[in-house]
Amino acid sequence: MEYAEAIASGEAHDRCVPGGQKTLNKLNKIVGSSYKKVDMEYGPTINNQKVSIVEEECIGCKKCISACPVDAIVGGMNMMHSVIDDICTGCELCIEPCPVDCIEIIELSDKEILKPRNDSQHFFDNKEFIKTSSKRTKIKNYSTKNLNISEKINLQLKKRDINKLKNLKSMQISIIKSDLEKIHKYENDDIDGFIDKNSD
């Protein structure tokens, strides 16, 4: 918000490193001038870290879920929430909304943080691609279905001997498939093609 206000007052708009080139392109259109590249002098500002929820203190208000840009938090209303390590990018956006301050930061090495950030970017890119690739209608109608899928997978993730990353990916693919089928009216063959084309 502070940077948005600074841009509105005439500050250069090429300094949002987390927003990257996409954000710069949008800002170029809004502001009406054209910077070619993000000025990396101003970032990155996020440390190598992820977050973890102190589960016994969580009151299940879901505020952190709404804040997370990469769907890395799972949990139902009034129930304990958890962070999925494999896709948390450590952006800290969930910390401030938590009313009981039960989300803590854990430091990581360069190697440990690279994979979750890449996976999260991949998931985010897929969701963005779907949103813009055809007419977007009432996505809210399908959020309940997506929540049910998440809760089902969440139950699986609680089992100690399970491959969390594999289950998480299957959850993401289920959600994307559901959106493609119900909202964008893709046929089954097209959905498989889309998932293959946009997968690692």
Contact 108, 50 (CB under 8 A): yes
7 binds ligand SF4 (CB under 6 A): no
Q: Half-sphere exposure of 99 toward its Cβ, with a 13 Å CA cutoff? A: 5
DSSP string computed for 66-86: HH-TT--EE--TTS--EE-TT
Task: Considering the complex, state which of residue 105 and residue 139 has its C-beta at the smaller distance from ligand SF4.
Answer: 105
103 binds ligand SF4 (CB under 6 A): yes
| Angle formed by the axes of helices 164-178 and 188-197, nearest 10° | 130
72 binds ligand SF4 (CB under 6 A): yes
- Kindly determine how many residues on this chain lie close enough to bind ligand SF4 according to the rule CB under 6 A: 29
74 binds ligand SF4 (CB under 6 A): no
Task: Considering the complex, state which of residue 39 and residue 85 has its C-beta at the smaller distance from ligand SF4.
Answer: 85
**Helix, strand, coil: what percent of the chain each, to 5?**
50, 5, 40
Q: Shortest gap between Cβ of 112 and ligand SF4 (angstroms)?
A: 14
Structure tokens at 102: 């039960």
Options 67, 147, 165, 195; binder of ligand SF4; rule CB under 6 A: 67
**Site residues for ligand SF4 per CB under 6 A:** 51, 53, 58-64, 67-68, 70, 72-73, 75, 81, 83, 88-94, 97-98, 100, 102-103
